[in-house]
Amino acid sequence: MTAPIETTGSPEAQPEAVLVGADKGQIEGRSLGQIAWTRFKKDKVAVAGGVVVILLVLLALLARPIQALFGLDPNAFNQDLIDPNTSLPSGDWGGMSADHPLGVEPKFGRDIATRILEGSWVSLVVAFGATILSNTIGTVLGVIAGYYGGRTDAIISRLMDTFLAFPLLLFAIAISATLQGGAFGLEGLPLHISVLIFIIGFFNWPYLGRIVRGQTLALREREFVDASRGMGAKGPYILFRELLPNLVGPIIVYSTLLIPTNILFEASLSFLGVGIQPPQASWGGMLSEAVNFYKVDPQFMIVPGLAIFVTVLAFNLLGDGLRDALDPRSGR
């Protein structure tokens, strides 16, 4: 006859497996989005980058209303603020004053703060437009190549290699210079913005295409894809209802890292004179004009340079934070 098993501790003690609050309905599951948001909030640097990005986007969206509200004109000349002997702004620090907090341009006296505000929406429209275009092409072709494989994958992969072999900067300069006069029923600023979006977006899609293809190759062997096939689902349904929702994370992360690259590319083309054309303000164009004055008026170069630097840095910090938050293998 075996001895009875004795228990230790107070009668009210509960097994370790019983979670505190379970009987009060305090425990609830969290979605993947809630888990990612919780992880993202812990990264203070990424949160700061996200706040700056939101402020920049709002500033760009409200650029024209702000100019109309305060009567600002990015192309207004202020010759009275220019020294006629040197063509430089009168006063210290590039003519900084209460009316012109960031100073004025040499030679013409245009307000730098207003032109920075005007250039913000141009840079972001080009960057976001090019990112949407490249993401659309890259996602569609990447998921098709990864899912179907075989000859389809080989053709799309060789197409990616061909686009990646293009000397993009030289090609962009040639196309932009050719279409400066007018094309497709467009001219002026709408034409320049459309050409930049097409060039930057159309030739950058293979980078995301390769990422999506690699992720799709891994996902197509998962159980939920096999279950969809077993239930009679066709290829298009599996592509857009099963695979694409699982690719949202990598696409979002890549987009936040691609936007600053596109901003720099637009600024580079404008700096070289084949992007946004004057008198329309753009950050790259302002840097190009400042080359002739950086020794005697460094303020003129520092301000647009800082605008590009802060914008690119904020998007990169946001992208790094999103990558860590959406990656379940991250240690954060």
pLDDT at 23: 52
pLDDT at 315: 94
pLDDT tens-digit map of 260-309:
999 999 998 888 888 888 889 999 999 999 988 888 888 889 999 999 99
What's the token pair of residue 83? 């020294």
DSSP state of 182: -
For the chain, give every domain's residue range. Answer: 35-72+111-326
Residue range 6-22: mean pLDDT, rounded = 49
Query: Coil, helix or strand for 111?
Result: strand
Distance separating alpha carbons of residues 263 and 167, to the nearest angstrom = 18
Residue-wise pLDDT for 226-253, tens only, equals 888 888 888 788 888 888 888 888 898 8
Kindly provide the b/e burial profile for residues 206-235, where b requires at least 16 CB atoms within 10 angstroms of the residue's own CB.
bbbbbbbbebbeebbeeeebeebeeeeeee
CATH for 35-72+111-326 is 1.10.3720.10
Question: In the chain, what is the greatest distance between 2 CA atoms, to the nearest angstrom?
Answer: 114
Predicted structure pTM score: 0.83
Residue 50 exposed, middle or buried by CB count within 10 Å (0-12, 13-18, 19+): buried
| Pairwise CA distance, residues 113 & 246, whole Å | 43
pLDDT in tens, 94-127: 788 888 889 899 988 899 999 999 999 999 999 9
